[in-house]
Amino acid sequence: MIRGAVALFKEKGFHRTTTREIAKEAGFSIGTLYEYIRTKEDVLYLVCDSIYEEVLERLSALPTQAGTLEGLKIAIRHYYLLVDEMQDEFIVMYQESKSLSKDELNYVLNKELEMVAIFENILHACRKSGECKLSEDAVKLAAHHLVVQGQMWAFRRWGLHHDIKIEEFIKVQTTFFLQGIQGNGGKA
C-alpha cells in the first residue's frame, strides 16, 4: 500500500490523491483500506515513517571507518546514492509532511534529526581524530548542510540532472564539503 501511495503522492500530491485511488493502487477496496488506517492522514504518516525507516536503516548499515575522512566520504556517497535511488520518496517526504498533524510532524522531524545525527557523529569522530578542523559548534550545522545538499539532488532534479550525473555530482559536492570543513576560510 505504501509503495502505491508514494507513487500517487509523487504524481499528484497528497491532497489531490483520493482515498479511493490509494485503495485501488494498493489493490483492495476502500473498505479494506480503512481496516488498516483510521484517516487519510494515517497513510501520509505511514508513508513518511516507512521512508525514514528505510533511509535510516540503510545509512546505519554503513561500514564505519570511524574518524577518517575516508569513512566520511563513503557515508556521503552512500547517502547521495540513496537520495538518487529514492528521489520520489524524498520529494514526497519533504513536500507533504507539512500536512501531518502536530504530533506526527514532531515524530517525523525527530527522524530527520536522527538522520542529521548520523553525520554529526561521523563529523565528531573526524574532529576528535583531527581529520577535520570544524569547531565543536559547527558540527551540527555542517551535518545539516550535508543532509540538505543531498536532498538538493532530488528537489532540483529539474535544474541539475541534465547538466550533471549523479557520480559527478557526488564527486563535486564531496570535494566541496571537504574543503568547507578543512580549509582556512578562503583567506589564504
Q: Choose which of 24, 77, 78, 145 interacts with its own copies (CB under 8 A).
A: 145
Using CB under 7 A, which of the segments 35-43, 113-121, 147-155, 156-164 binds DNA?
Answer: 35-43
Q: Does 40 bind DNA (CB under 7 A)?
A: yes
Nearest-angstrom CA–CA distance, 52 and 109: 10
| Gyration radius of the chain over CA positions | 19
Our CB check for DNA shows the closer of 24 and 140 to be 24
Q: Does 113 bind its own copies (CB under 8 A)?
A: yes
In the complex, minimum distance from the CB of residue 90 to DNA, in angstroms, rounded to a whole number: 23
59's CB contacts (< 8 A; 6+ apart) are 75, 78, 79, 82, 115, 118
Q: Choose which of 2, 25, 34, 77 interacts with DNA (CB under 7 A).
A: 34
Judge contact between 102 and 170, C-beta under 8 A: no
Our CB check for its own copies shows the closer of 61 and 185 to be 185
H-assigned helices in 28-101:
30-36, 40-60, 69-85, 87-96
Q: Does 30 bind its own copies (CB under 8 A)?
A: no
